[in-house]
Structures are given as structure tokens and as C-alpha cells.
């Protein structure tokens, strides 16, 4: 396996991304969207797509740059640092990975993802916890086609997406559908999430689908979905590690500048040791993130352990980073005017998305023979 | 075999070599105190196989695979070292030799020693002929190591050493000691030298100290008018602190790594399940899952840092992170082993013989080689740049 050090290409990608994001999508950008009641900035996503980010997992023949999952993680990490909002994970990572699993690649869908024209969302969750195996939504056979009925929740980017990847039950097994978000019978209602990102509840009321709408094979959703979920989980973990780094960076700066009792609070060992502990946690998590990316690139069929390890570690590290971030900032950390709260809210939402700590630690345990 | 640069070709050659040379009894994956081969003049091999394994591995330089070949190593780069580790793990082979010479003194000599010192001291370490111990701590100098007082005077043709060391692990079994001594009283950090002393010299004596684990692996060490040849100083006189610090980064890596070794290769859950009925007790199971997640991630970090060092990044102060995370985790894992073993684990002998002793021993992990508190201070000041 390639080493656990960023390649030159990945380092250059990170540097370029950092420069762009600091400028175009700092936390104030997210704050501006939230204050305006918006969850998405189409112009920002267009710029990201022009830089090739939307096609990072799309093959070159379809207009992508195909840099791989470790590189996607590098980008996601940088986006996490400034809490940049975009459909990168839903569309460029999850949907692109799903669609490239199938031989027909569904016409020009990948091309449209790479160019940023098509925005996809993944509709999996039905209850308040991630549990794809427990999917209850039905896809009833009607003639040559299907009729989809049921409710999805926590569909990230679901309100803005123009296409949906939907998981539904066909007889005993699960099937994945790719359908336009404005098809008859679909009702979307925006969820007002604490992190101010786009999320939707979606009702499917006898929505008609044809055999062409099936991604991969009927009753074999997991062949397509598993790699896509794992790509999403790994990239989300990378984003969360960036989020932790962003919150941590602010905290260390504050420890150096805030004075109490006549000295910078960073002189107090009680705080030094907690900050140092937090840094140690972020370092250890960084290894799991890079390892997951490498594993998805080099041995995708056996990446589950690496991916769940990364998501579990990223979840606990990000949550620790924001908790300590608020605490060490004292009163100002609790104010809406200060950015730390945005980090705390994003960390909480990301902790639940695509499986929480318990879900992924459970996967690790299972694969380690518990 | 060692001249093969391509990692995969090297793998096949190594595989064949191991097949032929690693005795069957040395392929039991055992990694506890009793199975370690320490070497040294007084070493008694636990079996003929242990002796053969050491001799064959040493002849190929595989006791210290990354050291240069002229000093007894195999000269492996990182890629081939990984292959070596993987192939050893694949057949569950025991490490042929472990010692403070390999973990600590060797790296320091490779960095600071003269060519003559390297030629004199490194090959006997690699062959397991000379066993070393570490004389750093003193009764009044623990965390504040630079406060050490052991006096070393320049007598023109030799050094004269007087003083006392404490917590010297295996001093009673070692042939030589690498010690920090004070050569200048005026300067705290710039008055320390790094000295190599033959433990059979007149005036060196040791007294064992019994530990809470019942074992007695370490000692007080006394120096009473000990005469030491002039050329036994490593690095410059009065600049031994640089050598000491460099060595400590390797010691920290070793302590964190030794704790992790069992963690990454053997699943904690699988071990616990044997004791606790499929590991169904929810609190224990949850804690074990968390510990497993952390163990895998810390293990990967050790790998990442090695990759970084090979790529020229260096590890430096970040080794304090590895030491802190690795040792705190190892303590957690042994607490879980005790909990799973229940009352059976509380006996010194019996079905879980050794478990309580191991558990007690791990409590030292976050003390030896610098305490967890000191590691966190290193991180906060040197890595994060916090004041104070
Ligand atoms: C099993 C074992 C084997 C050892 N082997 C060797 C060996 O082979 N050779 C050798 O030279 N030494 C050896 N040591 C010694 C070891 O390095 C020291 O014990 C260690 O450095 C701590 O020093 P101390 O015991 O004097 O504790 P102290 O320094 O007295 O510390 C006591 C407590 O105070 C805390 N503390 C001290 N200073 C600070 C500070 N500035 N900020 C916050 N907290 C602080 C410590 O963290 C600790 O909790 C060994 C120790 C053990 C337990």
C-alpha cells in the first residue's frame, strides 16, 4: 500500500484548496447564507466544479479528474476547516461512486456530475438513526415498472438536488433508484437543521419508476450502494477532521491571546494539557483518515474496516474539538456572533450522518472478531 | 537476499529464508515478558530454538533490520522493513532479539557516535552479545531530568564518576550502562555528558527494587570512584543533553509501540470474548469497542510517522504524542482484560496467571520514559507553541 504520507499531488491540491476556501468560503460565508435563510450558494459550487472538484471521482473519459478517494479526502478536509457548504459529498463523492459502479454509467450522468450541472442527493434514512438494512420504503412491481411509496428523512442536500438516489424494498431485497427530484408524487420539505445546511424530508407517494431508473440490478442495491456509502463515510470523516482542525486552530490562537490574571490563559497547565490531549487525538485520527482513502483507492472490496475506523475516530475527535473549543473560549464561545458555535453544530450533524460513533465502532468490532 | 531492492522480490526471498531458518517453536507469536530474548553475556537461552533463531537472524542483520550493514544491520529501507514486519507477523515469528541497545543506544550512536564508537559498540548489540541499561534517573532527578547530580570529574587521563542512579531497569543483568553525568555544575543543561560505562568496572554496584507487580526488574545503581576511559563519551563533553533528548524520542516510540504491538495484531474483543461469554456484557463490550477503534488508529499513526520519517519529515517532539496515546491506551486495554477475567484474574497464578502482573506493569507505561503529564507539556509548548 502507498505510504501514509500525502503525495506531492495531494499536497498541492490541499494548498490550492486552502487558498481558495479561505477567500471564497470562510465561516462568514456560511453565516451569511444562514442569515439570509439560504442553504446553498450555486455560484460557489460552480466555481468548485470549474476547479475540477465535482469530478474528482469521475473517470477522465467522462470529464472528471479521477484523482481518487484519498485526494477527495484531502479536499473534504480543507472544506471542513472553513465549514464550506456545497453538495460535494452528496454529489461528487457518493453519487459519482455509485454511478461508476454500473456498466452503463447511466448515460451522461457522470459527466453532468463532473461539470456541476447535476446535483444528486442520497435518500436512505427513514428513522432517526442510519440503518439502510432496515429500509421500509416499498418499490412495488407494477407491470414492467415500480411504484415507490414511503418517507425519507435527513436527506442531505435533498432540497436543492435535482436528482435523488433512493433506496427501496423490492419484495425481500433492496433496490437503488436514480430519479429526478421533480417527478410526480414526490414532495420535498426542507428540514431546518442546526448546522444551516441543506436537508430534506421527502415523501414518495406512488412515484412511478421504470427499469431504466434502477441503478445496477434489481434486488442488488448493496453492490452499488456499499462502495458509495463507504466513499461518503470516508470523505465525511475527512471533512470532520478538517472541522476539528479548524476549531482547534481557533482555540489555540485564543489560548495565546486571551489574558486573565495578567497572563495569557495558555500559560495554565490545566488548559495546556487539555489542548495537548486534543492535538494528540487529531493526529491519531489523521492517520485513520488517510488510511481509509488509500484503502478505498487500492483495495476497495476490503475497505469497510478502514472506513468505519475513520468515521468513528473522526466523530469522537470532532466532538471533543468543539466541546473544548466552546469551553476554552468561555462566554464568548457561547455567543452566536462568534464562529465556534457553527463548528459545534456541524460536528453534531456530521456525527449522525451516514452512521454515528456506535454504528461504526460496532462495524469495527464485528470485523475484528468480537 | 538483502541486496534485492524491489520490495516484492525481496518478499519472496525473505519468505523462503524464513521458511528455512525460523524454527517452528519460534512461530508462536508470543510477545510477553517471559519469551523475550534479551541477549548479553549472562543471558541463558530459554531453548535451543531461541539460540538458533538469534544466531541466524543476527548473521543476516535481521535483529536490527534498518541499521547499516557495516554495523550489523540489514540496511533495509522503509518499504522493505514493512515487508519484513509483515512477513514476520504472517508466520507469527518472535522477535529474535530485543534490548535497550537496539531501541535506545543504537539510534543515538548512529546519530552522534564516531565511526570508531559505532564499529566498537553496534555489532555486539546486533548480535545480542552485550546488554545495555539506561542510567538517566536519580533520586532527585525524575521529570526534571536535567537536575541530575552524578558527578563526573576530568582526571586528565580518565573520568572519575561518583553518584547514584535509580529505577535502572535490568541494571543487575546488564553488561554496560549508558549514563548521564554532570561534567559542569555551573550550567544545568549544558553541563551534562553522555557516558558509556562497563558495569564490571570497580566501584559499580546495583541493588534490586521490588515492584508492585511482584517482579523486580530494576535497581538502584551506585558509582563509587569509578574510573572510565576518556573516549567513552558520546558526542561532545557538556553537550550530552542533545544525545539524551534524541535517545528519549526513540525510547518514547518504543514504549508506545510495545504497548501497541499486541493491540494491532490481536483483536482485544477476541481475547475478551474467551473470558466473558462472547463479550455480551454491555459496558465491557462498549469500552472494548472504543479501545479497539483507538488501538487501530494509534497503530496506523505509528506507521504514518515511520513513513514520514522515511520521507524526510522527522518525528521529533511528536514522539511525545505517540508515547502519551500509546501508553494511556495500553493501560485501558489491561483494565478491560482484568474486568473480563473477573475474580480469576485476581490470582497470581491459576487460569489467568500473569494477567494481574501484566496489568500492574502497564501502570508504569505512563511514568517510565517521561510521564504523561510531561508528554502533554512537551506537546503544548513545543508543538502548539503555548507559553510558559
Ligand atoms: C518501570 C520503570 C522503569 C524505569 N526504567 C528506567 C531506566 O531504565 N532508566 C532510567 O534512567 N529511568 C527509568 N525509569 C524512571 C522514569 O523515567 C521516571 O520514573 C520518570 O521520569 C518520572 O520521574 P519520577 O519517578 O521521579 O516522578 P516525578 O518527576 O517525581 O513525578 C511525580 C508526579 O509529578 C508529575 N509532575 C512532575 N513534574 C511535573 C510538571 N512539571 N508538570 C506536571 N506534572 C509534573 C509527574 O507527571 C508525576 O505524576 C523507570 C521508571 C519505571 C516506573
pLDDT tens digit string along B360-372?
988 999 999 999 9
Q: For residue A30, what is the enclosing H or E element?
A: helix A27-35
Report d(CA B162, CA B225) in Å as an integer.
Answer: 5
A330 phi/psi in degrees, rounded to 5: 65, -145
* Strand B158-169 with B218-229, pairing: antiparallel
Residue with cell 500492574: B360
* A350 burial type by CB count under 10 A (0-12 exposed, 13-18 middle, 19+ buried): buried
Quick check: A364 and B380 CB within 8 A?
no
CA contacts within 13 A on the Cβ side of B350:
12
Q: Which chain B residues contact residue A313 at CB under 8 A?
A: 293-294, 297
Q: For residue A155, what is the enclosing H or E element?
A: strand A145-156
Distance B176 CA to ligand 1 centre (A): 22
pLDDT band at B349; cut points 50, 70, 90: confident
CA contacts within 13 A on the Cβ side of B16:
7
pLDDT score of B276: 72
Assess whether pLDDT exceeds 90 at residue B214.
no
pLDDT score of B265: 61
Tell me the three cell numbers of residue B341.
477475567
Assess whether pLDDT exceeds 90 at residue B14.
yes
A367 phi/psi in degrees, rounded to 5: -75, -15
Tell me the three cell numbers of residue B56.
541466524
pLDDT tens-digit map of B20-41: 999 999 998 765 667 789 999 9
* Strand B176-182 with B132-135, pairing: parallel
> Helix (H, G, I), strand (E, B), or coil: what is residue A344?
helix
For chain B, the average pLDDT equals: 91
pLDDT score of B315: 75
> Helix (H, G, I), strand (E, B), or coil: what is residue B85?
helix
Contact A155, A202 (CB under 8 A): yes
Distance B141 CA to ligand 1 centre (A): 8
Assess whether pLDDT exceeds 80 at residue B259.
no
Contact B37, B45 (CB under 8 A): yes
Those residues of chain B whose CB sits closer than 8 Å to some CB in chain A are 78, 267-270, 273, 279, 285, 288-290, 292-294, 296-298, 300-301, 303-304, 307-308, 310-311, 313, 318, 321, 324-325, 373, 375-377, 379-381, 383-388
DSSP A48-59: HHHTTSTTTTS-
pLDDT tens-digit map of A158-215: 999 999 999 999 988 999 999 999 999 999 999 999 999 999 999 999 999 999 999 9
Quick check: A279 and B384 CB within 8 A?
yes
Least confident of A361-370, B55-64, B212-221: B212-221
Question: Rounded mean pLDDT of A265-286?
Answer: 97
Tell me the three cell numbers of residue B197.
560505562
pLDDT score of B31: 59
Residue with cell 538483502: B2
> What string of H, E and C letters represents the secondary structure of B59-119?
HCCCCCCCCCHHHCCCCCCHHHHHHHHHHHHHCCCCCCCCCHHHHHHHHHHHHHCCHHHHH
Assess whether pLDDT exceeds 80 at residue A106.
no
Q: Checking phi first, is residue A52 left (phi over 0); if not, alpha (psi -120 to 50) or beta?
A: left
pLDDT score of A114: 97
The number of residues making up chain B comes to 388
Ligand 1 pocket residues where CB is under 6 Å: B 133-137, 142-143, 167-169, 218, 364, 367-371, 373-374, 377
Contact A238, A262 (CB under 8 A): no
Size of interface A-B (CB pairs under 8 A): 130
Report d(CA B47, CA A277) in Å as an integer.
Answer: 44
Percent over 90 (pLDDT), chain A:
97
Mutate which of B223, B368, B372, B380 for ligand 1 pocket (most atoms within 8 A of beta carbon): B368
The complex scores an ipTM of 0.86
- Name, in order, each residue with C-beta under 8 angstroms of B212's C-beta and a sequence gap of 6 or more: B360, B363
Interface test mutation site (partner B, options A2, A291, A365, A366, max chain B beta carbons within 10 A) = A365
Distance B365 CA to ligand 1 centre (A): 10
> What string of H, E and C letters represents the secondary structure of B179-198?
EEEECCCCCCHHHEEEEEEE
pLDDT score of B263: 41
Higher pLDDT, A89 or A107: A89
Question: Rounded mean pLDDT of A335-344?
Answer: 95
Contact B256, B327 (CB under 8 A): yes
- 291-350 of A, contacting B, C-beta below 8 A: 291, 305, 309, 312-313
* Strand A263-264 with A259-260, pairing: antiparallel
| Closest to A45 (Cα-Cα) out of A54, A58, A33 | A54
pLDDT tens-digit map of B42-64: 999 999 999 999 999 999 999 99
Name the range with the highest mean pLDDT among B72-86, B256-270, B301-315: B72-86
Q: For residue B250, what is the enclosing H or E element?
A: helix B240-265
Which are the catalytic amino acids of B?
251
Percent over 70 (pLDDT), chain A:
100
Tell me the three cell numbers of residue A192.
431546518
Contact A254, A328 (CB under 8 A): yes
Distance A224 CA to ligand 1 centre (A): 54
Rounded-to-5 percentages of helix, strand, coil across chain B = 50, 15, 35
Closest residue of B to A311, CA-based?
Answer: B293
Terminal-residue alpha carbon distance, chain B: 52
* B350 burial type by CB count under 10 A (0-12 exposed, 13-18 middle, 19+ buried): middle
Report the atom number in ligand 1 closest to the C-alpha of B136: 11
Report the atom number in ligand 1 closest to the C-alpha of B377: 42
Q: Cα torsion for A135, A140, A145, A148, to the nearest 10°?
A: -50
Tell me the three cell numbers of residue A140.
412495488
pLDDT band at A105; cut points 50, 70, 90: low
Q: Which chain B residues contact residue A272 at CB under 8 A?
A: 376-377, 380-381, 384, 386, 388
pLDDT band at B262; cut points 50, 70, 90: very low
Amino acid at each position: 500500500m502507498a505510504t501514509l504520507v500525502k503525495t506531492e499531488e495531494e499536497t498541492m491540491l490541499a494548498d490550492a484548496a486552502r487558498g481558495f476556501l479561505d477567500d471564497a468560503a470562510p465561516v462568514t460565508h456560511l453565516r451569511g447564507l444562514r442569515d439570509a435563510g439560504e442553504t446553498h450558494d450555486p455560484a460557489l459550487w460552480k466555481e468548485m466544479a470549474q476547479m475540477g472538484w465535482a469530478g474528482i471521482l469521475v473517470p477522465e473519459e467522462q470529464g472528471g479528474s479521477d484523482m481518487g478517494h484519498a485526494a477527495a479526502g484531502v479536499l473534504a478536509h480543507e472544506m471542513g476547516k472553513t465549514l464550506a457548504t456545497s453538495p460535494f459529498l452528496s454529489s461528487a463523492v457518493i453519487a459519482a461512486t455509485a454511478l461508476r459502479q454500473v456498466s452503463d454509467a447511466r448515460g451522461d450522468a457522470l459527466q453532468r456530475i463532473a461539470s456541476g450541472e447535476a446535483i444528486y442527493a442520497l435518500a436512505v434514512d427513514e428513522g432517526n438513526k442510519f440503518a439502510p438494512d432496515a429500509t421500509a420504503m416499498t418499490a412495488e412491481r407494477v407491470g414492467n415498472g415500480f411504484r415507490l411509496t414511503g418517507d425519507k428523512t435527513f436527506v442531505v442536500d435533498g432540497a436543492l438536488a435535482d436528482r435523488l438516489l433512493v433506496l427501496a424494498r423490492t419484495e425481500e431485497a433492496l433496490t437503488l433508484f436514480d430519479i429526478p427530484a421533480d417527478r410526480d408524487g414526490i414532495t420535498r420539505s426542507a428540514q431546518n437543521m442546526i448546522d444551516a445546511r441543506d436537508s430534506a424530508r421527502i415523501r414518495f407517494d406512488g412515484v412511478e419508476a421504470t427499469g431504466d431508473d434502477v441503478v445496477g440490478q434489481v434486488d442488488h442495491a448493496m453492490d452499488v450502494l456499499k462502495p458509495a456509502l463507504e466513499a461518503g463515510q470516508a470523505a465525511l470523516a475527512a471533512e470532520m477532521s478538517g472541522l476539528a482542525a479548524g476549531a482547534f486552530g481557533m482555540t489555540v490562537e485564543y489560548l495565546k491571546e486571551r489574558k486573565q490574571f495578567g497572563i495569557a490563559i495558555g500559560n495554565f497547565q490545566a488548559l495546556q494539557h487539555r489542548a495537548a490531549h486534543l492535538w494528540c487525538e487529531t493526529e491519531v485520527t489523521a492517520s485513520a483518515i488517510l488510511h481509509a482513502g488509500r484503502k478505498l483507492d487500492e483495495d476497495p472490496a476490503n475497505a469497510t474496516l478502514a472506513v468505519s475506523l475513520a468515521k468513528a475516530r473522526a466523530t469522537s475527535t470532532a466532538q471533543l474539538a468543539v466541546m473544548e473549543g466552546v469551553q476554552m473560549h468561555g462566554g464568548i464561545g457561547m455567543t452566536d456572533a462568534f464562529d465556534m458555535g457553527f463548528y459545534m453544530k456541524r460536528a453534531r450533524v456530521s456525527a449522525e450522518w451516514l452512521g454515528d460513533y456506535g454504528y461504526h465502532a460496532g462495524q469495527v468490532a464485528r470485523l475484528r472478531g468480537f | 537476499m538483502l541486496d534485492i531492492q524491489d520490495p516484492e522480490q525481496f518478499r519472496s526471498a525473505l519468505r523462503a529464508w524464513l521458511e528455512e531458518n525460523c524454527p517452528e517453536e519460534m512461530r508462536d507469536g508470543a510477545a510477553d515478558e517471559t519469551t523475550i530474548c534479551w541477549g548479553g553475556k549472562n543471558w541463558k537461552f530459554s531453548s535451543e530454538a531461541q539460540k538458533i533463531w538469534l544466531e541466524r537472524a543476527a548473521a543476516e542483520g535481521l535483529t536490527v533490520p534498518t541499521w547499516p550493514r557495516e554495523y550489523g544491520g540489514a540496511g533495509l529501507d522503509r518499504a522493505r522493513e514493512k515487508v519484513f514486519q509483515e512477513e514476520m507477523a504472517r508466520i507469527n515469528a518472535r522477535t529474535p532479539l530485543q534490548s535497550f541497545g537496539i531501541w535506545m543506544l543504537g539510534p543515538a550512536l548512529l546519530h552522534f557516535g564516531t565511526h570508531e564508537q559505532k564499529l566498537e559498540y553496534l555489532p555486539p548489540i546486533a548480535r545480542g552479545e552485550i546488554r545495555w541499561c539506561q542510567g538517566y534517573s536519580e533520586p532527585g532527578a525524575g521529570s526534571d531530568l536535567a537536575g541530575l547530580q552524578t558527578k563526573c570529574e576530568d582526571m586528565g587521563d580518565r573520568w572519575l564518576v561518583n553518584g547514584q542512579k535509580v529505577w535502572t531497569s535490568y541494571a543487575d543483568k546488564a553488561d554496560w550502562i549508558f549514563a548521564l553525568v554532570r561534567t559542569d555544575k555551573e550550567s544545568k543543561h549544558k553541563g551534562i555528558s553522555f557516558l558509556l560505562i562497563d558495569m564490571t568496572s570497580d566501584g559499580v554496584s546495583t541493588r534490586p527494587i521490588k515492584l508492585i507487580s511482584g517482579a523486580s526488574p530494576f535497581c538502584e545503581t551506585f558509582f563509587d570512584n569509578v574510573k572510565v576511559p576518556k573516549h567513552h563519551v558520546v558526542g561532545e563533553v557538556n553537550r550530552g543533553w542533545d544525545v539524551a533528548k534524541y535517545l528519549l524520542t526513540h525510547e518514547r516510540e518504543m514504549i508506545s509501540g510495545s504497548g501497541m504491538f499486541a493491540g494491532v495484531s490481536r483483536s482485544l474483543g477476541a481475547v475478551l470474548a474467551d473470558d466473558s461469554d462472547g463479550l455480551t456484557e454491555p459496558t465491557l463490550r462498549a469500552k472494548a469497542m472504543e479501545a479497539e477503534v483507538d488501538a487501530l488508529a494509534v497503530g496506523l499513526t505509528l506507521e504514518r510517522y515511520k513513513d514520514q520519517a522515511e520521507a524526510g519529515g522527522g518525528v521529533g517532539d511528536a514522539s511525545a504524542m505517540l508515547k502519551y496515546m500509546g501508553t494511556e491506551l495500553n493501560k485501558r486495554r489491561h483494565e478491560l482484560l482484568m474486568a473480563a477475567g473477573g475474580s480469576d484474574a485476581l490470582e497470581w497464578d491459576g487460569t489467568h496467571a500473569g494477567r494481574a502482573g501484566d496489568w500492574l506493569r502497564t501502570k508504569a507505561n505512563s511514568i517510565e520514559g517521561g510521564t504523561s503529564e510531561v508528554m502533554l507539556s512537551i506537546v503544548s509548548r513545543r508543538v502548539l507553541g503555548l507559553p510558559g
